[in-house]
Amino acid sequence: MDGNPDSKLMFIGEAPGFHEDKQGVPFVGAAGKLLDEMLASIGLDRTSCVICNVLKCRPPANRDPLADEIESCHPFLEAQIRFIAPHVIVTLGNFATRYVLKTKQGISSLRGRKYEAFGTMVIPTFHPAAVLHSGGASSPTMVSLLSDFQLISEAMKI
Ligand code: URA
Predicted pLDDT at 137: 82
Name the residue of 20, 46, 73, 80 whose CB sits within 8 Å of the most ligand 1 atoms, as the mutation to test its pocket: 20
Q: Above 80 in pLDDT, residue 5?
A: yes
pTM of the model: 0.96
Predicted pLDDT at 125: 98
Q: Distance from the CA of 12 to the center of ligand 1, in angstroms?
A: 9
- What is the spatial distance between Cα 28 and Cα 35, in angstroms, rounded to a whole number? 9
Write out pLDDT tens, residues 83-126: 999 999 999 999 999 999 999 999 999 999 999 999 999 999 99
Name the residue of 12, 27, 38 whose CB sits within 8 Å of the most ligand 1 atoms, as the mutation to test its pocket: 27
Measured from the CB, is residue 53 less than 6 Å from ligand 1? yes
Measured from the CB, is residue 95 less than 6 Å from ligand 1? no
Phi, psi of 72 (to 5 degrees): -65, -35
- What is the spatial distance between Cα 126 and Cα 140, in angstroms, rounded to a whole number? 11
Per the CB < 8 A criterion, the answer to whether 114 and 35 are in contact is no
